[in-house]
Structure 1
């Protein structure tokens, strides 16, 4: 019975003891979104520009422009809506100064390094 417990403890400590902390590199970006397609009434244009779907997709694109392996950590500021006039009093809006925190795994912090054992 003691042997079974000892084996179980040894096995658990082997699997849970080998976990290593992953280190990340963080970077804050500030960018603007593109204007919405088409012209609509100002309130509707602002609502379309500040939809959570648009903020999520544009923040993902902002981080991906940094290169391979960059992902969104958090959206710090959703920015402010800025509108431009179109025909017949309608407007197109976009968000300016959207601040996003991006992260990437620090090279060499995870996995096997060449020449290391």
Structure 2
């Protein structure tokens, strides 16, 4: 989850000694202006697949492919993977004796459900 879901254009509020450059999911400017920041889309994407009651079951940090897996209340597994690299990255997911080979484009997020 994001530390700040909403912040003003100066990234306030923040705790003393905390991050003064961290964007919230949205930036609320004077008037009615709302800017959706990357965290908005990350939260929206994850919440579509990781429903209330889901439990994190794994999280690894292989070079350039941070990821996290959840078990949903319906018993499904959801894996979210980010390719932080400048080029496509191939990887394999092993689960229940099966292997899924996948490739993510540079900067892409992939969500796998089984």
Normalised to the residue count of structure 1, the TM-score between the two structures is 0.24
- More contact order relative to length (CA 8 Å, sep ≥ 6): 1
Which has the larger share of strand? Answer: 2
Q: Could you state the TM-score of these two structures normalised by the residue count of structure 2? A: 0.24
